[in-house]
Structure 1
Amino acid sequence: MTTVTPSDRERTATRLLRSSAEHSYDPEVEIDWDAPFVEGKYFVPPHRSSLYGTALWERLSEQQRIELTKHEVASIAGLGVWFETILMQLLIRGYFKEDPTQAHSQYALTEIADECRHSVMFGRMIARLGTPVYRPDGINQALGTWIAHTATGPRMYAAILIAEEILDTLQREAMASEDVQPLVRMVSRIHVVEEARHVRYAREELARQIRAAGRGRLAFDKVVIGRAAYLTGRRLIDPRVYQAVGISPAEGVRAARANPHHRETMRWAGERVVAFLTELDLIGGPGAALWKASGLLPR
Structure 2
Amino acid sequence: MTAAMERDELPGNVVSLQDQGPSEVSERLLASAARLSRNAMTEIDWSLPMEPEKYGCSPEWSSLYGTDYWNEMTQEQRISLTRHEFASIMCIGIWFEMILQEMVIRDQYLGDYHDPEFQFALVEVADECRHSIMFAKASEKMVGRSYRPSRRIGRLGKIFKRTAKNEVAYAGILVAEEVLDVFQRGCMRDDRVLPFIRTVNEIHVLEESRHMKFAREEVRESVEGISWARRQFSALYVAMGAYFIVSSLIQPQAYADAGLDVDRARREAAGNEHFHSMIRSSCAHLMEFLDDVGLLTKPAMRYYRKVHML
TMscore range, shorter length: over 0.9
RMSD of aligned Cα (Å): 1.6
Q: Which moved more, 1:236-245 or 1:43-52?
A: 236-245
Aligned-partner Cα distance in 2 for 1:9–1:159: 17
Structure 1 SS opposite 2:187: helix
Residues 112 and 118 in structure 2, CA contact (< 8 A), matched pair in contact too: yes
2:263 aligned to which of 231, 247, 250: 250
Partner of 1:153: 166
Aligned runs of 1:143-292 on 2, under 5 Å? Answer: 143-292=156-305
Q: Which residue of 1 aligns with 2:93?
A: 80
Which of the pair is proportionally richer in helix?
Answer: 1
Q: Amino acid of the residue matched to residue 234 of structure 1?
A: S
Aligned to 2:40: 27
Structure 2 unaligned regions, length at least 5? 1-17
Q: Distance in 1 between matches of 2:280 and 2:189?
A: 20
When residues 261 and 286 of structure 1 are mapped into structure 2, their CA distance, relative to the original with a 3 A threshold, is: closer
CA-CA distance at 1:131 after TM superposition: 4.0
Q: For residues 200-246 of structure 1, what are the alpha-carbon distances to aligned partners after superposition, in whole Å with 9 as ceiling and x for unaligned?
A: 10011111111143222222212211112212332222222111233
Q: Deviations over 1:117-139 (max 9, x none)?
A: 00111111111123432222232
* Partner Cα separation in structure 1 for residue 278 and residue 247 of structure 2: 13
**Structure 1 residues 132-141 or 146-155, which shifts more?**
132-141
Shift of 1:94: 1.2
Question: Percent same amino acid at aligned positions?
Answer: 36
Cα shift readout 1:155-177 (whole Å, capped 9, x = no counterpart): 11111111111211221221111
Q: Distance in 2 between matches of 1:176 and 1:133?
A: 25
TM-score normalised over the length of structure 1: 0.93
> In the alignment, is the contact (CA less than 8 A) between 1:229 and 1:291 conserved in 2?
yes
User: C-alpha offsets along residues 42-73 of structure 1, whole Å, 9 cap, x if unaligned?
Assistant: 11101111111111111211101100000111
Structure 2 letter corresponding to 1:45: S
Q: Secondary structure at the match of 2:114?
A: coil
d(CA) in 1 for partners of 2:223, 2:108 = 19
Q: Distance in 2 between matches of 1:183 and 1:203?
A: 30
The answer to whether the 8 Å contact 1:162/1:273 transfers is yes
Tell me the secondary structure at the aligned position of residue 283 of structure 2. helix
2:105 is the counterpart of 1:92: yes
Contact 1:162 1:270 in 2 (8 A): no
> Aligned equivalents of 2:278 and 2:250: distance in 1?
12
Q: Matched residue of 2:48: which SS?
A: coil
Give 1:130's aligned residue.
143
Q: Which runs of 4+ in 1 moved over 6 A?
A: none
- CA distance in 2: counterparts of 1:268 and 1:72, whole angstroms: 20
Q: Distance in 2 between matches of 1:232 and 1:268?
A: 18
Assess if the C-alpha contact under 8 Å between 1:222 and 1:285 holds in 2.
no
2:258 and 2:149 map into 1 onto residues whose CA distance is: 21
**CA–CA separation in structure 2 for the residues paired with 1:78 and 1:212:** 37
After superposition, the Cα gap between the structure-2 partners of 1:69 and 1:17, relative to the gap in structure 1 and judged at 3 Å, is same
Equivalent residues of 2:26, 2:214 under 8 A apart = yes
Deviation at 1:194, TM superposition (A): 0.7
**Greater CA drift, 110-119 or 252-261:** 252-261
- The answer to whether the aligner puts 1:115 opposite 2:128 as a matched pair is yes
Cα distance in 1 for residues equivalent to 2:235 and 2:265? 30
Whether 1:53 aligns to 2:66 is yes
Task: State which of 21, 27, 30 in structure 2 corresponds to 1:14.
Answer: 27
1:230–1:294 contact (8 Å) kept in structure 2? yes
Flag the 1:175–1:214 CA change in 2: closer, same or farther, 3 A.
same
Shift of 1:250: 2.5
Which piece of structure 1 moves more, 222-231 or 177-186? 222-231
